[in-house]
C-alpha cells in the first residue's frame, strides 16, 4: 500500500494534540520540572521538538539552507541537543507552547503536499519525506513520554505506536553505526501486540533471533525511554539481545539509555 502523507500528517497532528493538552495545563513552575532525561526540563523537551520541527521543514523545503546550518554545526563538533536546549531557556512556558504550536502547524502544512519518496537530508542518513515525518511522530511520542512521566500522566497507547516501532526496526543498522559496532548479518524477527490486540511484525518469519511483546514496551525500548530490564519483552538470540542493548530510533550520537527503575 502506498504511503499516504496525509495520513502521516494526521497522525502527527493527533500525537501533537495529545501532548499539547497536557502542556497547556502546566504552571510556569511545572515547565521547569526535571524530566527523566538527565539535565532536561519539560521546557527543554518542548524546545527540542519545536527547534527540530523548524529544521525538518527546512531540510525538505530549503535543503541548501539546511546544508549550511549542518555544516556550521559540524564545524562546532556536530549537533548537540543539550546546546540547542540551552539557547531557549529564557522563554516562558507560554512562549514555548506558542513556538511548538507554530512550528508543528507549519511542519504539517509543509509536508502534507510532498511526494512521500522525496529524499531529504538529515544529521544522520538522508531519508524519504515519509520517513522524515514518521521520525517526527516518533520524536513527539518519545519526548512526550518524558513529559508524561514527569507529571504523572499515563496516556492510552494508540495505533500510532506502529510508526515508532517501524522507524525503530528500520534504524537497527544505524544503532550499530552510532555505537561504532559492526552489525551482525543475523536477521531479527520483531513480533508485537498492537494496542487493539492485533499483531504487527517485521523481519523474516523463520528468523531464529526474535523480539516479541507489546508494541508499547518495544517503543519504550527503542526510544530508550525504559531500561530493557523494566520491560516485558521476550528476547531470543545473541543478535536480538545485542540490539536491545544499543537500539535507538533517533539520529545522532549513541544514546545513553535509562537506568533500571
* Average pLDDT of the residues in 178-197: 97
For 73-83, write each residue's pLDDT tens digit.
888 888 889 99
Average pLDDT of the residues of the chain: 95
For 24-46, write each residue's pLDDT tens digit.
999 999 999 999 999 999 999 99
In the numeric block, the cell 541537543 is attached to: 81
This prediction has a pTM of 0.95
Domains observed in the chain: 5-155 (1.20.120.450), 162-246 (3.30.1050)
* Average pLDDT of the residues in 129-154: 97
Phi, psi of 210 (to 5 degrees): -145, 150
* Average pLDDT of the residues in 143-151: 98
Amino acid at each position: 500500500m502506498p504511503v499516504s502523507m496525509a495520513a502521516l500528517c494526521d497522525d502527527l497532528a493527533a500525537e501533537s494534540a495529545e501532548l499539547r493538552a497536557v502542556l497547556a495545563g502546566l504552571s510556569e513552575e511545572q515547565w521547569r520540572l526535571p524530566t527523566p532525561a538527565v539535565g532536561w526540563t519539560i521546557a527543554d523537551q518542548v524546545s527540542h521538538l519545536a527547534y527540530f520541527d523548524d529544521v525538518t521543514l527546512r531540510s525538505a523545503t530549503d535543503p541548501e539552507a539546511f546544508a549550511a546550518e549542518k555544516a556550521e554545526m559540524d564545524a562546532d563538533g556536530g549537533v548537540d541537543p543539550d546546546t540547542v536546549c540551552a539557547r531557549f531557556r529564557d522563554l516562558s512556558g507560554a512562549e514555548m507552547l506558542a513556538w511548538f504550536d507554530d512550528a508543528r502547524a507549519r511542519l504539517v502544512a509543509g509536508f502534507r503536499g510532498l511526494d512521500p519518496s522525496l529524499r531529504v537530508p538529515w544529521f544522520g542518513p538522508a531519508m524519504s519525506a515519509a520517513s522524515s515525518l514518521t521520525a517526527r511522530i516518533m520524536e513527539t511520542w518519545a519526548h512526550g513520554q518524558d513529559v508524561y512521566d514527569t507529571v504523572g500522566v499515563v496516556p492510552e497507547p494508540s495505533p500510532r505506536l506502529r510508526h515508532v516501532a517501524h522507524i525503530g526496526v528500520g534504524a537497527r543498522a544505524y544503532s550499530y553505526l552510532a555505537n561504532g559496532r559492526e552489525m551482525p548479518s543475523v536477521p531479527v524477527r520483531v513480533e508485537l501486540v498492537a494496542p487493539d490486540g492485533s499483531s504487527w511484525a517485521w523481519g523474516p518469519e523463520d528468523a531464529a533471533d526474535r523480539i516479541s511483546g507489546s508494541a508499547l514496551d518495544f517503543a519504550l525500548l527503542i526510544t530508550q525511554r525504559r531500561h530493557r530490564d523494566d520491560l516485558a519483552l521476550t528476547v531470543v538470540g545473541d543478535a536480538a539481545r545485542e540490539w536491545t542493548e544499543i537500539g535507538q530510533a533517533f539520529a545522532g550520537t549513541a544514546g545513553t539509555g535509562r537506568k533500571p527503575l
